[in-house]
Structure 1
């Protein structure tokens, strides 16, 4: 099977993440999309980052009705911060029957050179890149391992959602109803 890996802190997972995952799963040659919940992003220091098991549970609730989307806790047992190349290596060894593709936003491609062993990622894996607002052209645009996929241009931010919750505002339609109920029940982001 050809699996698309969608990395993120998913703090919380929102409709933008779900639309991208679904678009990649159904409108490309991918068989499934796995949401890789990152315990800690090496580029982000976030005081409002929920515990990884809470974020994993939100992802599971959000994708429960879609058999082509899966949640993964593979990075939970890896050294922190987790680096994409290390996770790709572990997944490729553990699931050698699958071909893995990295799903990323165009904004991440712009600073891809800063990633640990980015050359190895480009050498051994394909990148499926979805459009992001206000992104300039970049050096990897014509790389043979980089494939641009059509997807809705979305600008929903987890930061906006967390701030809305903190300020008592509605997040309806920005997250799945199951996720909104879970956030309310647990009193997250207040």
Structure 2
């Protein structure tokens, strides 16, 4: 089974994340998409990042109606800070029957050469890239790389930062979140301060 790993803080998860994840599940050769919730880095200021368990719960709520999309807390149990290469090695050891790939936006592809052991990642895993506006110049080595697959997913310009800032100033962002996530955010008064 081919698993696509879609990493993020999901603070909060929004419809843009689901559109990309569902597109990858339905229009690529990936069998499942795991939404990997990135834990809070203890060495960074907390700022507006909700506790790990709240963000994981929102991903659970958002994905419950999608058979091919699953929440994952795998990085919660790994040493901090999290490096993708280590997470991939852990998952491959734990689930040797699965083939793991990364899902990322074109903007992240631009900085892939700065990731820890990125060559090891590309040697052992495929990368599925979705388009972004203003993604900048793609590194020459990644343009025709055999492990990098561009997927013609919809271009979604929606960010969790925009949602948090809008909530803080009292705007109605309900259409931008799955209903269950909107209710969770609203009941808990998240992002209002």
TM-score range, shorter chain: over 0.9
Give yes or no for the alignment of 1:174 onto 2:176: yes
Q: What is the deviation of 1:135?
A: 1.6
How many residue pairs match? The answer is 189
What SS does structure 2 have at the residue aligned with 1:173? helix
Partners of 1:53 and 1:111 lie apart in 2 by 29
Are the aligned partners of 1:102 and 1:128 in contact in 2 as well (CA < 8 Å)? Answer: yes
Q: How does 1:102-113 map to 2 (within 5 A)?
A: 102-113=102-113
Are the aligned partners of 1:39 and 1:81 in contact in 2 as well (CA < 8 Å)? Answer: no
Give yes or no for the alignment of 1:116 onto 2:119: no
Q: What is the deviation of 1:46?
A: 5.3
* Cα shift readout 1:153-183 (whole Å, capped 9, x = no counterpart): 0100100000111111111211101101000
Partners of 1:80 and 1:187 lie apart in 2 by 29
Q: What is the deviation of 1:41?
A: 6.3
Q: How does 1:47-86 map to 2 (within 5 A)?
A: 47-86=47-86
Among 160, 163, 166, the alignment partner of 1:161 is 163
Partners of 2:46 and 2:88 lie apart in 1 by 24
Q: What is the deviation of 1:138?
A: 1.1
Unmatched segments (≥5 aa) in structure 2: none
Partners of 1:115 and 1:132 lie apart in 2 by 20
Partners of 1:133 and 1:17 lie apart in 2 by 15
Are the aligned partners of 2:40 and 2:51 in contact in 1 as well (CA < 8 Å)? Answer: no
Match of 2:154 in 1: 152
Q: What is the deviation of 1:136?
A: 2.5
Partners of 1:102 and 1:165 lie apart in 2 by 31
What SS does structure 1 have at the residue aligned with 2:35? strand
RMSD (Å) for aligned C-alpha atoms = 1.4
Partners of 1:137 and 1:113 lie apart in 2 by 13
Match of 1:33 in 2: 33
Unmatched segments (≥5 aa) in structure 1: none
Q: Which 4+ runs in 1 deviate beyond 4 A?
A: none
Please report the TM-score for the alignment, with normalisation by the length of structure 2: 0.94
Partners of 1:40 and 1:158 lie apart in 2 by 15
Q: What is the deviation of 1:142?
A: 1.2
